């Protein structure tokens, strides 16, 4: 897998990365998540499972890994894997996020799984926690789910601290969520220190169902930010696991398009994200070795303009998409 610069940074990444949202905690909203873990939720078993998936990703050539403080023990599992495999900081790029605190206590049906707070105190505490685990491997630190309503893009003490951290060599990014991703990104591009945008990267949801951030991501790309795509499979809705009857007509179209390329729906969906001219890294959210290998097949696919235009008809209205996502059950 060929390495390339992530935006105007000096970070060398692969076009396909691995996100650890489904690997660091027993509960997540992906369709069929319980089956992925074989219902083995003790910490030791999950750490071994995460290492197996990370091994598979490394074998496929993946060199960008993305975690967060709120992903349970994701940073810990990644750190022990990096240490056990003897992977030098120069040979991999690691991103993590601050702003959400994991509160589920390793319980799948917890009433509250994570709590959001974009305060200076949380930034400082969580950065120390991330650095304690990842040490020299931490390259990119991102605001987790920045939104206009959270006020983080107007919080001067937080922004000043992020600018100071960038001055020490740590790359700074933000991730987006919700139906106003594009508006949040426009605002983020206006946050400037020393004559340039504070943020080195942006991570946003883009997939065949939710495309509303596309124009803003193109603008960010042109401004020099590295663009990371998350949820390319829409938390499992863009896989064969989606047996929602209301989605059946769209699934039929997806299966037909995938069949024409002799591939699977998940590989097709990831290939569509990879085909976007502004996409620097597309994250696989794989929870099993088999998922990693299936997702990696997307790298060999070439989607022509005709097929991409045909897939345009799958898009949902942003509000509809995010309401459906909010309704996915933790499992």
Q: pLDDT tens digits for 84-107?
A: 999 999 999 999 999 999 999 998
Specify the CATH architecture of the domain 13-139+200-326. Alpha-Beta Barrel (3.20)
Q: List, in order, residues 6 or more apart from 71 with CB less than 8 Å away.
A: 20, 21, 23, 24, 25, 102
Tell me how far apart the alpha carbons of residues 196 and 8 are, in angstroms, rounded to a whole number.
Answer: 12
CB atoms within 10 A of CB 247: 16
Q: Per residue in 172-188, is it b (16+ CB within 10 Å) or e — as a string?
A: bbbbbbbbbbbbbbeeb
Tally the C-alpha atoms within 13 A of residue 47's C-alpha that lie toward its C-beta. 13
Tell me how far apart the alpha carbons of residues 255 and 46 are, in angstroms, rounded to a whole number.
Answer: 32
SS3 234: helix
Query: What's the CA dihedral at 145, 251, 218, 224 to 10 degrees?
Result: 60
Instruction: List the pLDDT tens digit at each of the 331 positions of the chain.
Output: 999 999 999 999 999 999 999 999 999 999 999 889 888 999 999 999 999 999 999 999 999 999 999 999 999 999 999 999 999 999 999 999 999 999 999 988 888 999 999 999 999 999 999 999 999 999 999 999 999 999 999 999 999 999 999 999 999 999 999 999 999 999 999 999 999 999 999 999 999 999 999 999 999 999 999 999 999 999 999 999 999 999 999 999 999 999 999 999 999 999 999 999 999 999 999 999 999 999 999 999 999 999 999 999 999 999 999 999 999 999 9
Could you tell me if 179 and 321 are in contact, meaning their C-beta atoms sit under 8 angstroms apart?
Answer: yes
pLDDT of residue 39: 84
Domain map of the chain by residue range?
13-139+200-326
Residues found in the chain:
331
CB atoms within 10 A of CB 155: 17
DSSP 313: G
């Amino acid at each position: 897998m060929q390495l390339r610069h992530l935006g105007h940074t000096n970070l060398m990444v692969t076009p396909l990365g691995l996100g650890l949202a489904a690997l660091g905690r027993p509960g997540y909203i992906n369709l069929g998540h319980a089956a992925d873990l074989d219902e083995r939720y003790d910490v030791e078993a999950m750490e071994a499972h995460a290492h197996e998936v990370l091994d598979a990703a490394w074998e496929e050539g993946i060199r960008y890994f993305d975690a967060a403080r709120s992903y349970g023990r994701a940073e810990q599992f990644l750190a022990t894997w990096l240490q056990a495999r003897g992977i030098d900081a120069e040979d991999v790029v690691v991103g993590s996020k601050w702003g959400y605190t994991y509160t589920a206590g390793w319980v799948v049906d917890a009433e509250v799984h994570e709590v959001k707070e974009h305060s200076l105190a949380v930034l400082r505490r969580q950065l120390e926690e991330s650095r304690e685990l990842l040490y020299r491997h931490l390259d990119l630190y991102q605001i987790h789910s920045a939104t206009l309503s959270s006020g983080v893009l107007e919080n001067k003490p937080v922004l000043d601290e992020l600018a100071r951290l960038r001055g020490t060599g740590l790359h700074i990014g933000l991730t987006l969520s919700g139906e106003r991703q594009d508006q949040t990104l426009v605002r983020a591009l206006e946050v400037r220190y020393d004559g340039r945008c504070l943020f080195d990267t942006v991570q946003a949801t883009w997939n065949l169902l939710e495309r509303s951030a596309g124009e803003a991501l193109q603008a960010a790309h042109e401004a020099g930010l590295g663009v990371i795509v998350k949820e390319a499979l829409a938390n499992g809705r863009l896989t064969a696991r989606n047996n929602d009857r209301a989605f059946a007509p769209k699934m039929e179209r997806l299966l037909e398009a995938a069949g024409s390329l002799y591939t699977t729906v998940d590989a097709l969906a990831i290939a569509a994200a990879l085909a976007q001219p502004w996409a620097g890294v597309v994250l696989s959210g794989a929870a099993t070795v088999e998922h990693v290998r299936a997702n990696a097949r997307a790298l060999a696919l070439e989607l022509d303009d005709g097929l991409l235009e045909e897939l345009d008809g799958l898009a949902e209205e942003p509000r509809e998409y995010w309401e459906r996502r909010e309704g996915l059950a933790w499992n």
